[in-house]
Amino acid sequence: MSSLFDPVTVGALALSNRIVMAPLTRNRAPGGVPTALMTEYYRQRAGAGLIITEASQISAMGQGYLDTPGIYDAEQVAAWRLVTDAVHAAGGRIVIQLWHVGRISHSSLLPDGAAPVSSTARAANAKTFTRDGFVPVSTPRALHDAEIPALLADYAHAARCAMQAGFDGVEVHAANTYLIEQFLRDSINDRSGPYGGSIANRARLLLEVLQAVGGAVGFDRVGVRLSPLTTFGDSAALDSDPQALMEHVIARIAPLGLAYLHVIEGETGGARQPEGAPKLDWDALRRAFPGAWMVNNGFDRARALAAVSDGHADLVAFGRPFISNPDLVRRLRENAPLNPLRAELLYGGGAEGYTDYPALETGAAA
């Protein structure tokens, strides 16, 4: 039986344990550029077998929240290089999550006040974080089919920028009802043509993104995140048949040789079986994917240990526990108590609630 604390090779990545730091938006990158504070934040958490960075937009049009980082220009690449160097010097491995929010955005965040783009021209029932606080998202415009090649080029460019910045790989964000999932779900995707209608057509964009990104950096350095039951971004956004959708998607990506598949089991940051959502056969989906299977959502120490030892997962991602416990791996290994989270300090701000959580060794800031 494998243990949560055993090393594992995931695609091209050799990991020291199976504990993953999940992507966590913290809104501390003014102008889209990572800061020295972010370098320290990630360095502190390098004990994770793998760090997945906060979601980072692939282009200026991909941004949806204030002060989130990007990975598409030289300044961002140079700033991220300081992060990856620090994590590697501390013995860690780190990939960046590639993000396009689609319609979960506001025109004030986009170049020249442009409308967000999506699979649809319908607005989401959602809010986003701007300089004026949380405001309703803007109404999007539907991407034209002829614009898709440029979008794919943006993904490939961002992936190449990630390699230039020293990342060990990339994760394609196809979850949480952002752009790719706006194409995947029939509750959002109301278009006709090659990217709308059937499951195969709705899955086309994800598959083309993975081909573009894998072609740029190598498929064994690419992961993908899926969230078939989450309604984050729109409470009415569930697909009508998430099991069939996921079975098709996984069958199509299985031959690509991806490093891992990262699934959110249930509502992102919420119930593992959301009310009104169908039950998914997670184990059947897991058996259909030949690469490493990463699970996420509400895992504590006992559940994570069991998930790996029982073969339910190869890797377990932890989100909020990593925010308040920079030394989470040691705490899990020793079954030590966890620091409480200061939720009011999650988004924006400075070092407080970010790099000042105490480590187990001394009780002082890590």
Q: Which residues of the chain have pLDDT under 70?
A: 233-236, 362-366
Q: Could you give the residue numbers annotated as active site?
A: 178
- CATH code of 8-345, in short, is 3.20.20.70
Backbone torsions φ then ψ of 252, nearest 5 degrees: -80, -35
The Cα–Cα gap between 188 and 191 comes to 9
Residue 355 pLDDT: 98
Specify the pLDDT at position 271. 79
**Residue 324: what pLDDT?**
98
Which pLDDT does position 235 carry in this prediction? 65
Give bridge partners of residue 173 from the DSSP assignment.
225
- Coil, helix or strand at residue 135: strand
Distance CA 30, CA 83 (A): 16
Q: Coil, strand or helix: which one is 50?
A: strand
Note whether 94 and 168 are within 8 A (CB). yes
pTM over 0.75: yes
* pLDDT for the residue 365: 45
